[in-house]
């Protein structure tokens, strides 16, 4: 996998290996030094030493070999199946589970659960996504709950992937956000891509911006503390809803990556995770041609937070400290 960094004017001169170890948290400094020695990490297309001092304007490219697991095995992880036929499986993903295996998460993922499900039921699963992403045409972040579709055949996979690409899929999310937007409804249009300073984040400060748009509607206001909103993404960029709401000044409650530590509590209400739920997923069934629509209400942890916010209103409103506008808030654990 090739990754590129462009050193901006605000970056202070430092050793190449030190610069990278702060941005590649899954790779040790010694491993980065070996990659530099092998020429897999270059500065301005030139081989350099680990001690090379980077400066503004430098372009760093990394060609990191993709680690392969020995095998991905099915695991008896419970699944909430909403619907299943010969082409599709619809499920309600719980929060806290990673969708597909990746370095650091080769087990305990939704894919491990799916493999076990199909092994025990005798069903098939699409192979287009490869052994790490069988049946997956879309994904939800680890902490996001809600409706997902899994394809059981390659034909179903191709048909649904085309619908996602053409943005003909109906998607409705709901979120609890920090503070309250001035407008009850609106459209957020903001091109985003992988952040130039932190490759684990997405933002408008990127070398590869992709147009993205999200409609929102405020469903419930909790004084000036927080709001319950419905979200209608017109595009499907990574972290789109989280970045768009942060750009509006109202990050999702519990999203410490984009909102910082302040969004982890409201008054005395502790926020257990990113308060985002994929409520509805609608599409044309790839085999029957019928329009299908699957909806699941928000899970209990979000309902509990909403109840506690209601109690805060009753006991006396608590106002946030001010809007979040910086897309690069330090990532603090909640």
**DSSP assignment string, 252-268:** BTT-HHHH-GGGGEETT
pLDDT per residue as tens digits for the range 240-257: 999 999 999 999 999 999
Q: Quick one: DSSP state of residue 271?
A: P
Please identify, among 19, 35, 63, the residue that sits at the C-terminal boundary of a domain: 63
User: Both 178 and 44 in a single domain?
Assistant: no
Query: Average pLDDT for residues 255-268, to the nearest whole number?
Result: 94
Q: Quick one: DSSP state of residue 150?
A: E
User: Both 233 and 293 in a single domain?
Assistant: yes
Please identify, among 103, 138, 165, the residue that sits at the C-terminal boundary of a domain: 165
Q: For residue 300, is pLDDT > 80?
A: yes
As for how many domains the chain has, the answer is 3
Evaluate whether residue 115 is within a structural domain: yes
Query: Average pLDDT for residues 256-273, to the nearest whole number?
Result: 95
User: Both 216 and 262 in a single domain?
Assistant: yes
How far is 231 from 174, CA to CA, in rounded Å? 6
Residue range of the domain that includes 50: 2-63
Evaluate whether residue 332 is within a structural domain: no
| Residue predicted with more confidence, 22 or 61 | 61
pLDDT given for residue 122 in this prediction? 84
Contact call for residues 215 and 190 (beta carbons, < 8 A): no
pLDDT given for residue 325 in this prediction? 45
- Kindly report the number of other CB atoms within 10 A of residue 195's CB atom: 20
Range name among 34-43, 63-72, 230-239 with the lowest pLDDT average: 63-72
SS3 state at 113: helix
SS3 state at 88: strand
User: Both 301 and 280 in a single domain?
Assistant: yes
Reference 88, options 151, 138, 139; nearest CA is 151
Catalytic residues: 141
pLDDT given for residue 68 in this prediction? 58
Range name among 11-20, 155-164, 269-278, 280-289 with the lowest pLDDT average: 11-20
User: Both 56 and 104 in a single domain?
Assistant: no
User: Both 161 and 177 in a single domain?
Assistant: no
pLDDT given for residue 323 in this prediction? 44
| Residue predicted with more confidence, 328 or 215 | 215
Query: CATH code at 117?
Result: 3.30.2350.10
User: Both 29 and 11 in a single domain?
Assistant: yes
Residue 142, class by beta-carbon neighbours within 10 Å (0-12 exposed, 13-18 middle, 19+ buried)? Answer: middle
pLDDT given for residue 94 in this prediction? 96
């Amino acid at each position: 996998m090739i990754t590129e960094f462009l050193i901006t004017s605000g970056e202070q001169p430092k050793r190449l290996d030190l610069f990278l170890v702060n941005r590649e948290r899954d790779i040790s400094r010694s491993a980065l030094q070996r990659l530099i020695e092998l020429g897999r990490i270059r500065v301005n297309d030139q081989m350099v030493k680990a001690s090379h001092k980077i400066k503004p304007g430098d372009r760093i490219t990394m060609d990191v070999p993709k680690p392969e697991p020995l095998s991905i095995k099915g695991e008896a992880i419970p699944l909430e199946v909403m619907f299943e036929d010969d082409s599709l499986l619809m499920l309600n993903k719980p929060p806290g589970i990673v969708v597909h295996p990746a370095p650091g998460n080769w087990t305990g993922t939704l894919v491990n659960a799916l493999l076990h499900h199909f092994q025990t039921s005798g069903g098939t699963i699409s192979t287009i996504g490869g052994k790490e992403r069988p049946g997956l045409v879309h994904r939800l972040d680890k902490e996001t709950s809600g409706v997902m579709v899994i394809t059981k055949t390659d034909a179903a996979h191709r048909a649904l992937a085309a619908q996602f690409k053409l943005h003909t899929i109906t998607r409705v999310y709901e979120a609890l956000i920090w503070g309250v937007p001035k407008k009850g409804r609106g459209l957020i249009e903001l091109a985003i891509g992988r952040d130039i300073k932190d490759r684990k984040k997405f933002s408008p400060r990127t070398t590869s911006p992709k147009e993205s748009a999200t409609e929102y509607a405020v469903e419930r206001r909790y004084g000036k503390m927080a709001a319950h909103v419905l979200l209608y993404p017109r595009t499907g960029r990574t972290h789109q809803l989280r970045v768009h709401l942060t750009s509006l000044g109202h990050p999702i409650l519990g999203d410490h990556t984009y909102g910082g530590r302040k969004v982890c509590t409201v008054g005395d209400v502790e926020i257990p995770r990113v308060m985002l739920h994929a409520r509805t997923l609608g599409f044309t069934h790839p085999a029957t041609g019928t329009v299908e629509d699957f909806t699941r209400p928000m899970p209990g942890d979000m309902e509990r937070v909403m109840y506690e916010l209601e109690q805060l209103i009753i006991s006396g409103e608590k106002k946030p400290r001010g809007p979040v506008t910086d897309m690069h808030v330090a990532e603090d654990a909640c």
